Structure formats: C-alpha cells, structure tokens
Amino acid sequence: MPRLLHSWLLLAFLPACSSDAEPLASLDPEGSPASAERSDEFDDPSSRSRWRLWHEVADLEPRHDLLDIAQTHPGMLTVRPKAGGWFGGEEGPLLYTMIQGDFLVETWVSASKIGDPSVPPDEQYNSAGLLVRDPVHGEGRANWIMLNVGRQEGTRVATEGKTTVNSVSSLELTDGPREGRLRICRRGSTFVLARQMEGEGEFTVTQRYERSDLPADLQVGLVATAWNSATPQPDRSRTPDIEGTFDYVRFSVPGSDADCTGPS
C-alpha cells in the first residue's frame, strides 16, 4: 500500500522563561494500568461517567456539536466536532482516561459524512481516531500522538499518523478505506501505530515513534477533527461534515512487540 509523507511545521514560540514563571501542572489524576476493565463497548449511555472530557476538565467551550454514547447510534460513541481539531497547539474534542505505563488501545471507527453514513466526509482533514497526550501542556508545549481515519488532503481517504512535539506536528498519510480498526501500542518510549481497515486481513504498522519525552501517565482516548483546510490553520468559516462513530475501545497490556499487531 503506498504511503504519502506530508509534514507540516507549525512554528510555536515558547514564551520567555524567568525564575518566577509558574510551572505547568496537570489537571488530571494519576493514571492507572491498562486492563480489560477499562474497556467500553459503548452499549450503555451511563458509561459516559467513566470518561473525562477535556473541555470540561479545562473549563473550556465545548469542542463538539454532538457527543453521546448509544443514543444517536445504538452501541456506538458518536462525535460531531466543531470546526478545528488536532494539529500543532490546537485542540478538538477528546474523550479520555488516564493510563499509566505500557498499553495497547484499540478501537473500531468510521469517519462518515453527516447525513450519509455510506461515504466519507467532503471537507479536508475531517477524521476520527485515537490520541495519547502528555497531561502537562501549555502554550508551545503540546506533546501527543494520534492515529485517525477520514477525508484527508484533497480527495484522499486515508489513515493519518501524527506526532506533535512542543506544538509542532508532523503527519503521514496511508491511503485506504474510511473505517476499520486502529491501534496505538506503547512499550516504554516506543509507540507503534497500526491499522486493520475494512477488507484488510491483518494489522499492519503504519508508523513507529520514539517519544522518550512522554511521561508514564498519559491521556488516552478518542478524538475527532474538522480542520476544513489543507493549511496549518483550520477554516472555521466552513461547516464540518464529519460524524465519527466508534464501536468500542479496548485496553490491554502488551507483553511483547508482537502483541502490537497480533489478534485481539
């Protein structure tokens, strides 16, 4: 399968530091180890209480127009993001939990056009998927990894692997269907991104990132993006047309590198 490497550099200037500058702090509790008990099949609307929603934690305006469990679509988490999303220092909706140490997180996700679930969104960089993030962040200090699927640049439908270091994002696209299974697997400082999209017989690695800067405790969760643009700035004048639907999210601890792409 062909890969398309497309790196964007978003310039992020750190403010001048002084000895009396306030240190950054996490708004989250300590993480706990990954386990099957942390998983969610999205069959019960009440399971929403088990999750943290970033804009609520940070007391920000909502990043979504719709987010619910087993209401819009039975057995699914449904997310319709506002214009904007995950690139550089920008943020979109993030439903997450705090995970400590090594983990394997998997979801089945579909990126569809609102009103027509049989086709991908029309707008550029309208996608849904997984994200892991350092809970300590601020201006010029966004550090995270994402794997998503949807409409990407131009007419391309693809998965997108993205690593962001101090608010500078680099991404890589891999062509394929608009729905399927995505994984992010952490073993120490190594993060393996893998996919098994509809029609693919097994998981394949799309990206591998070395991130020794990321701490033991990470925000791990589900995201959607509606960038509406192929530039480093989102186009908020355009109406997003993505509906991200997630069938489940499952957690485990990988015992070996092979577990990152092995059968569920």
User: Does residue 4 register a pLDDT over 50?
Assistant: no
pLDDT digits (tens, 9 = 90+) for 147-197: 999 999 999 999 999 999 999 999 999 999 999 999 999 999 999 999 999
In this prediction the pTM is: 0.92
Among residues 128, 127, 125, 120, which one has the least CA distance to residue 228?
125
pLDDT digits (tens, 9 = 90+) for 43-98: 999 999 999 999 999 999 999 999 999 999 999 999 999 999 999 999 999 999 99
User: Does residue 10 register a pLDDT over 80?
Assistant: no
Query: Which region holds residue 213: left if phi is over 0, alpha if psi is between -120 and 50, else beta?
Result: alpha
What pLDDT, on the 0 to 100 scale, is given for residue 13? Answer: 33
- Where do the domains of the chain lie? 28-257
DSSP string, 100-155: ESSEEEEEEEEEEETTBTTS--SSTTEEEEEEEE-S---TT---EEEEEEEE-STT
What pLDDT, on the 0 to 100 scale, is given for residue 21? Answer: 41
What pLDDT, on the 0 to 100 scale, is given for residue 128? Answer: 98
**Residue range 28-257, CATH number:** 2.60.120.200
